[in-house]
Every structure is written in C-alpha cells, then in structure tokens.
A and B are shown apart, each in its own frame.
Chain A
Amino acid sequence: MQTYDLEANGLRGLNSALQELNGSSNKTAWEIVNPKGSHAIAVGLNSPIEVTVKGSTGYYCAGMNQQATVKVEGSAGPGVAENMMSGTVIVEGDASQYAGATGHGGLLVIKGNASSRCGISMKGIDIVVHGNIGHMCAFMAQAGNLVVLGDAGDALGDSCYEARFFVRGNVKSLGADCIEKEMRPEHIEILKDLLARAGADAKPEEFKRYGSARTLYNFDVDNAQAY
C-alpha cells in the first residue's frame, strides 16, 4: 500500500504518480490521506490500480477514469467520475451535482444520495445510487444505466435518448419525452447484475424502468411546447 499525503505533497505529484503507472508496476494499491475537499483528485488514471481516498473530495474526483478503482471514504463534490471510460468509482457518502456526467463506461456507485443532474448526458456509464437523487438527473442521457434505490427528483430523464433508468422509490416527475416502460426479462438481468456489483441489497422486481418515448428524436413543430 502506497500512502500519499495530499496536503503535504500536492496535487500534481499525486496525479503524476498515479498516471505514470502502466500496469506493470507493483504499486497497485494507493491510499490518499488529507484530501480535505481538494479538486481533481486521481483524475486521468489509466491502469488497474486501487485508490482509496481517506476523506471527502472536491470537484471532479476520478474524472475521466480508465481501468482504476477509486473509492472515496467520504462525500464527493461536483462531477465525481465525470466522463469515466471504464473502471469503478465508489463513493461511501453523498455525491454533489453532476455525478457521472457524460460518462462513457465503467461503474459509479454512490452509497449515499446524489444531488441534481446525476448522470447528465451519460454515454454508456452505469450508475447505482443507494439513496435518492435530485432534480434533472439523466438530462439528455444517451446510453448506460442509472439505478436508484431511493426516490428521484423532478424531471428525471428529460430529453433522454437510449439510456435506461431503474427507480425503486418515487419519481417526483418525469422530464420531457421520458416515460415509464415495460420491465422485460433482459432488464431484470441487467438490474440484477448491477445491484450485485454495487453491493446493493434490493430485488430487481421492486424497480420500475423509465426511458425515452422517442417522440422528440426528430423535430416536429407540434412538439414545440416540449422543447
């Protein structure tokens, strides 16, 4: 286990050290102490290492992650795991707005609640939130899965494309062109797998599925009020 004191040694040294790992190093486990809400912790990683942040983080922790597993033992600021390509990011506490924004792949697990715009413009990432999510989550979501064990706020999935949303609790309101959809066996399988990988104690059958009605895919003036 490599221990890095962020307060003492600075951000550039941390990210530089983590980014230099190319899969052939034995330094595969890292612990970051004294994060104290710093921004851009463990960004741009691209090797199968495990990084544990001992505390809460600021903006963009694990941004653009590839391959690595990053665990935040605290809460995460805005944009955690933004544009993630692969790997796993786990937040033990709550996540601020834009969690998993534009993510292309990998798994983001938030064990607390997620604020507004979680999964905004997601492009293939899987996100599992153990608690509730705020308003405008999955806005313009393109691909991937957003799983919410709690409740969802206003305008879930507004203007979404082909992403899937699974919510166990209440949805305050659906956004434009987002509708409840049939839960077919293949969706149960997807959900079962995601819940297991996220360590979530819930049954797939308890969830409802939401997604795009596809009525806004091509502009029609009669839908102008929806834009």
Chain B
Amino acid sequence: MDSNKIPRTVPIQSATFSNPINAEIRRAAATGIYDIRGGGAKRRVPHFDDLLFLGASISRYPLEGYREKCETKVTLGTRFAKKPIELDIPVTIAGMSFGALSGPAKEALGRGASAAGTSTTTGDGGMTPEERGHSSKLVYQYLPSRYGMNPDDLRKADAIEVVVGQGAKPGGGGMLLGQKISDRVAEMRTLPKGIDQRSACRHPDWTGPDDLEIKILELREITDWQVPIYVKVGGTRPYYDTALAVKAGADVVVLDGMQGGTAATQDVFIEHVGLPTLACIRPAVQALQDLGVHREVQLIVSGGIRTGADVAKAMALGADAVAIGTAALIALGDNDPKWESEYQKLGTTTGAYDDWHEGKDPAGITTQDPELMKRLDPVDAGRRLRNYLKVMTLEAQTIARACGHNHLHNLEPEDLCALTMEAAAMARVPLAGTDWYPGKAGF
C-alpha cells in the first residue's frame, strides 16, 4: 500500500503537558530557579462573571435611573475608632508599596482616589510624604517586615491595616529584587542598595489571634483609639479568619482572594495557593452574622474586582466595600497597547506583562528607573483613575437601581443567580432558573 495514502493520526497536544507547561519545564531546567512574577492568579476560576443579577420584575420594582437616588457612601471603622473613615464610594485602593511602584505611580493613586472620594493604602516600605500629601484618606499598612514603620507616620494615617496575608500568596512573604532597590527605597527600608529584599511571612512580635488582640490594643493605645484598625487576610479559611479577626478587635476585615495581585512572588504560589475571591465572601459574611457584627465590623473584599458589576456582586454577597489593585494600575496605564513594541522586546505582549519585579516596566509604573518613571504623568494618570472609579460606581448604581435598591448596601444575595454549579455553591445563590444551590439544606 502506498505509504502516502495511509491515513495519519492528527498531532494531538497533551492537555496535561501543554505547550505552556512544557515551556516552563524547559525554562526551569535551563535556569534552576522558579518563575517569579507580579499580578494575581491567571488561571480561570469561578468568579463574578459566573453570577447574574435578576433585576426588577412584578415582585420588585426598580428605581428610576438618573432620577431616584442610589446612595454609595460607606463608613469604615464604626466599631471602636473615634474617627471612622467616611468614603463617597465603596471602592478603595488596595495596598501597594513605594518600591514596588514608582513615586509618580503612588502619587497618581493618591490623586485619583482622593478625587473620587475614596482611600488609598500604603504598602511594604512605609509612607512617603508624596503619598500622604496627595491622599485625602490614607490607610497605613502594618506589615511583618515593618520597613519604614514609625509612630509618627502611624499617627498620620486615617486607618491602620494589620496585614496578616494577601490573596496572591497567603502564608508567603514578599520579594523585591535588587533591581528595584534604589537609594531611596534602600534608605526607607534600612537595607543595602541593590540586594534582593525579602519580606517576612509572619509578624516578628506576635503569633496567633490572642497575640493579635494585644497587638491591636497597643496600636490603639499609640494612636489614642482615633483611627480604625483593619485586619487583612488572604483567602484561605475565610470563616475562621474573619471570626478570629473580629475576636482580636478588628474594626474592618479585608479579605483578598487569589486573583488579588502582588508585586512579586513565585508563580507556583500565585496559581496554587488560596481561594478564589468568589468562594471567600459568603463564609466571611456568615462569620460576621454568626457573631452579630455584620455591618458593625465592615468587610472589604478584593481580588479580581474590575467593573461596577463586580462591585455590585461583591456587595450583594455581603461586602461593605471592595478594594482594587491590578485594575487601578491598568487605569493608570499598566499593560497599555501603546507600549506593545517595548513589551515585545521584553519577550511579552500587552496584557500579559507581569515581570513587575524586574523594574523594566515600559509604562513607568512598577519601576524605580528614573527614565521610565518619567513616562507616567501623575496628574493625567490620577485623572484616569478617578474616571475609572466614577464609572465603576455609576455601573454599580445602575445595577442597584435595576434591582430596586436606593443604596448599594441594600443589594442582597436574593438579587443574584449563578450560571454554573461551582459559582452557585461558592456564592450560595441559586443556579439560574432554579431555587437550588449545592449544599442548600432541604434538598
């Protein structure tokens, strides 16, 4: 038989050993080091896209868009603080460090957040005067490394966020590679210039919830009980972590799912540790309800928030507010197509650039290179962030009105249905077209 006429098996790529997996094996074999990158989980996980709002019907009537009020204000820290934070919108800016980000990027975050009537947050590395100066409401992160930590800055803050973990790497510390340790970053962190700076994974002077309660007492005593104290946890055991944070005396719990970004961590950590944001919210809210403090202790949810729909869905599931990090960087100009030729030179492409730790960001955001930093105009970038925050708020209001609510906080799980079994189980809302979700009692 003519061998050219024998039907041939079509080449089949392995689903297990896919091209990206094989490329990573080759990269690891060539370098001997794991892949470090920025950002959050890139894998597909159940998310807010898997939920829909039901909208109004005969049983519920909507509010008139552009005519009837739909309030967006949120107050954070009403439990113990003398001066709770009052925000115009329930979208806050998550903690990102000076060091990981350039000075102009931090300034832009402050400008944008302030113009939109919301808060921004420091990060590992301390508070800069520029950031304080341009942020009308600034949350000061209290991290395991305590880089730049001092009582003067602590007292300048509008709130303190005790960081126990973050969604991209719950249980992990931080890494800022030597390329980004400039003179100023080194000085703020009391470290030699150019070294790979490691941030500890747990606090140096407390372990466990009983210690945390005493640590919070100390912070309150130092700040005269004036400002709210948040406790931020990565999404792992949200019911128990929320309950323990409440027990320890938190005013606000910040819960960060695995889509939440980081400046630099091992890819294997980002993609394989932690819970999707969607899976975190209901257990956390349940803990607050079981303790009788839902809405008294506020819940901020972060990790993959992109649109007003995401904001509305998180709030419908019980969050008081959300925080954005990656989305805010994109609004500033991160991964913008106008830098495509430069992304190509770095071996990547628009939308995929995540080597934030290398300090070569063409957009001038995740860098300490003086020339690259000049590319970001903090005034223009701040304006873009403000616009984006306003759009998110308008979108969330649009949905809330369509569901008949005059405040974003009045959104509720009953406004939602799920498109997939997984999302229904995680969000504890009915699968679309049914009155059932996995795990619902009585089935």
Contact = CB atoms under 8 A, between A and B. Distances in A.
5 contacts: A40-B214, A40-B218, A64-B154, A140-B198, A218-B178
Interface of A: 11-12, 15-16, 19, 39-40, 43-44, 46, 58-60, 63-64, 66, 78-79, 82-83, 85, 98, 101-102, 104, 117, 120-121, 123-124, 139-140, 142-143, 159, 161-162, 217-219, 221
A217 B221 contact: no
B205 to A, nearest CB: 4
A44 B192 contact: no
A44 B33 contact: no
Contacts of B204: 98, 101-102, 117, 120-121, 139-140
B198 A59 contact: no
B215 interface: yes
Interface in B189-222: 189-192, 194-196, 198, 200, 204-206, 211, 214-215, 217-218, 221-222
Contacts of B200: 121, 140
Contact of B151 (A12, A64, A123): A64
A58 to B, nearest CB: 7
B205 A78 contact: yes
Contacts of B198: 140, 159
A104 B33 contact: no
B414 interface: no
Contacts of B225: 12
A120 B204 CA distance: 6
Nearest to B225: A12
Given A98-B204, A117-B204, A120-B205, A63 B218 contact: yes
Contacts, number: 100
Nearest to A219: B196
Contacts of A117: 204
A161 B192 contact: yes
Contacts of B32: 221
Interface residues of B, number: 33
B64 interface: no
B183 to A, nearest CB: 15
A11 B224 CA distance: 11
Nearest to B220: A40
Contacts of A104: 150, 190
A219 B145 CA distance: 18
B214 to A, nearest CB: 5
Contact of B221 (A40, A83, A123, A218): A40
Contact of A44 (B151, B190, B196): B151
A140 B189 CA distance: 13
B379 interface: no
Contacts of A66: 151
B244 interface: no
Contact of B205 (A39, A101, A123): A101
Given A46-B151, A85-B150, A124-B190, A102 B218 contact: no
